[in-house]
Homo-oligomer: A and B are copies of this chain.
Amino acid sequence: MDVADLVGQARDGSPRAVARLISLVEDASPRLREIAAALTPYTGNAQIVGLTGPPGVGKSTSTSVLLSALRKEGKRVGVLAIDPSSPFSGGALLGDRIRMTEHATDPGVFIRSMATRGHLGGLAWATPQAVRVLDAAGFDVVLIETVGVGQSEVDVVRLADTTVVLLAPGMGDGIQAAKAGVLEIADVFVVNKADRDGADATVHELEQLISLSRREIRGRSWRQPIVRTVAAEGTGAEDVVRALAEHRTWLERHGELSLRRTTRASGEVEAIAVQRLRAELGELHGGDRLAELARGVVDRELDPYAAAETLIDELRRG
């Protein structure tokens, strides 16, 4: 495999090459370093959009409708669907993917599920690299869609330039429960199923939360818009696209885009370094040292901090 060739093919629009590159990233290929270097000159152009919300809100349909609206504007769109590897959510993902098949034959769309079961910290580490692949391959928008609501997914959503939080009426005290957390991560609110009873109440409740929070980022305030959609009928997607564009303009005008991207890159670099250090800890003394120290902890011969210090000292001595 020639990495430069592969990157070239991905940039020429080969979905196979894009898929191959993402697989290499997910599988932590020994050539990751080389791949990252080859991608770097072509990165920085895509708008990274996070899309999240509680189960049952119509996330998958909304993604699909948003895809269509972005395509109408001629944008190429890459989608990363994050599977949190929850033993309880594994099934939902498949259904989502099947619903996405309407875009399967469109060469301007690339959809990929990121499955990272069992890789501790795997999402935090592999997702930014996959974003990098899609960015370098020339996708104008990269949508990171999270299934479910765990902390690791929130962290992943924080990779985005713009985060869309989907809500729907009739979710009980969902918004009340969500409160500060949702306000914290949302740049754009979408109230889906807006034709249902309770939509006005949901919008009203959100408006109150937003005006209470009066969020200011470094003195420049962005008032989160609330967009109503009925994704199942394709209604409102253009308004979401407009809100995304407005937020992008705001980010650029206030220097916020580059700040967010620096934060993202910090996380990315840190995750790579931590992953590497973790691997080195595991490999000490041919891989036996950690287990040996752990047995000492179980036998009450040493406490876990003393064991960790020993491990770090040995790592430093290399």
CB atoms of B185 and A87 under 8 A apart: yes
The minimal Cβ–Cβ distance linking A255 to chain B, given in whole angstroms, is 12
Binds B, one of A211-219, A228-236, A246-254, A289-297: A289-297
CB atoms of A278 and B269 under 8 A apart: no
| Interface presence of A198 (CB below 8 A) | no
The residue that A37 contacts in the complex, of B33, B86, B295, B305, with Cβ under 8 A, is B305
- Write the chain B residue with the least CB distance to A258: B298
A124: chain B residues within 8 A (beta carbon): 120
| Interface presence of A36 (CB below 8 A) | yes
| Interface presence of A100 (CB below 8 A) | no
CB atoms of A294 and B306 under 8 A apart: no
CB atoms of B178 and A90 under 8 A apart: yes
Contact with B along A137-160 (1 / 0, CB 8 A): 000000000001111111100000
| Interface presence of A311 (CB below 8 A) | yes
Question: How distant is the Cα of A153 from the Cα of B89 in the complex, in angstroms?
Answer: 13
| Interface presence of A176 (CB below 8 A) | yes
Contact with B along A31-47 (1 / 0, CB 8 A): 01100110111011000
Please provide the chain A residues from 30 to 89 with a CB less than 8 Å away from any CB of chain B in the complex. Answer: 32-33, 36-37, 39-41, 43-44, 53-54, 84-89
Binds B, one of A9-17, A106-114, A237-245, A259-267: A259-267
Given contacts A290-B266, A303-B40, contact A86 B184 (CB under 8 A): no
CB atoms of A294 and B312 under 8 A apart: no
Given contacts A87-B149, A152-B151, contact A300 B44 (CB under 8 A): yes
CB atoms of A154 and B86 under 8 A apart: yes
CB atoms of B300 and A43 under 8 A apart: yes
Please provide the chain A residues from 86 to 101 with a CB less than 8 Å away from any CB of chain B in the complex. Answer: 86-92
CB atoms of B312 and A273 under 8 A apart: yes
The minimal Cβ–Cβ distance linking A21 to chain B, given in whole angstroms, is 14
Given contacts A150-B152, A273-B311, contact A87 B294 (CB under 8 A): no
| Interface presence of A318 (CB below 8 A) | yes
| Interface presence of A177 (CB below 8 A) | yes
| Interface presence of A4 (CB below 8 A) | no
Which of A's residues lie within 8 Å of B, judged by CB?
A: 32-33, 36-37, 39-41, 43-44, 53-54, 84-92, 117, 120-121, 123-124, 128-129, 132, 148-155, 173-174, 176-182, 184-185, 258, 261-263, 265-266, 268-270, 272-274, 276-278, 281-282, 290-291, 293-295, 297-298, 300, 302-308, 311-312, 315-316, 318
* Interface contacts beyond A87-B178, A87-B182, A276-B308: sample of 7 additional A-B pairs, CB < 8 Å, sorted by A: A36-B303, A37-B303, A265-B297, A268-B297, A269-B294, A270-B290, A272-B308
A-B contact pairs, 16 of them (CB 8 A): A33-B303, A33-B305, A37-B305, A44-B300, A53-B88, A85-B151, A86-B150, A90-B180, A91-B176, A121-B121, A265-B295, A266-B294, A269-B294, A269-B308, A272-B305, A316-B318
